[in-house]
């Protein structure tokens, strides 16, 4: 097993994002910091369920990155070799969307996080 700093950075950022999504799903009044700020305060029930789906997707992305970095799941290596580019694409799209959102809080908080997710996943992809 090798240690990959970019994979660890990526995973820490994803875990922070997962915790934020879990808080939203549980009713934290942070809606102004997500989904373009369209739902300030607590999210309505359907969006809380969407947060749970996002948590599952984010966890899968972390597993792909950690597998590509040869830190876990050696049986996933073949899949991770191409799936890492899906992760990089996710990071690029997320960065773009967080930069153009109407929500000031998303631009201030999540755009930098998304950019770091993009950079760290790209570093894992090219190694």
User: How far lies 98's CA from each of 67, 88, 91, 125, in Å?
Assistant: 27, 15, 10, 22
- Tokens representing residue 54 in the block: 């996002």
Asked if the model's pLDDT at residue 1 lies above 70, the reply is no
Q: What is the pLDDT of residue 2?
A: 61
Q: Would you place residue 37 in the very low, low, confident or very high pLDDT band (cuts 50, 70, 90)?
A: confident
Within a 13 Å sphere around the CA of 87, how many CA atoms are in the beta-carbon half?
33
pLDDT tens-place string over residues 65-120: 999 999 999 898 899 999 999 999 999 999 999 999 999 999 999 999 999 999 99
| Portion of the chain with pLDDT greater than 70, in percent | 98
């Amino acid at each position: 097993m090798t240690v990959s700093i970019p994979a660890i950075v990526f995973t820490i950022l994803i875990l922070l994002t997962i915790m934020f999504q879990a808080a939203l799903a549980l009713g934290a009044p942070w809606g102004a910091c997500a989904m373009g700020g369209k739902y300030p305060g607590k999210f309505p029930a359907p969006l809380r369920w969407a947060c749970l789906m996002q948590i599952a997707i984010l966890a899968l992305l972390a597993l792909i990155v950690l597998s590509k970095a040869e830190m876990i799941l050696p049986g996933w290596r073949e899949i991770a070799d191409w799936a890492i580019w899906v992760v990089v694409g996710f990071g690029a799209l997320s960065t773009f969307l967080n930069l153009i959102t109407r929500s000031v809080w998303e631009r201030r908080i999540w755009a930098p996080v998304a950019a770091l997710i993009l950079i760290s996943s790209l570093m894992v992809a090219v190694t």
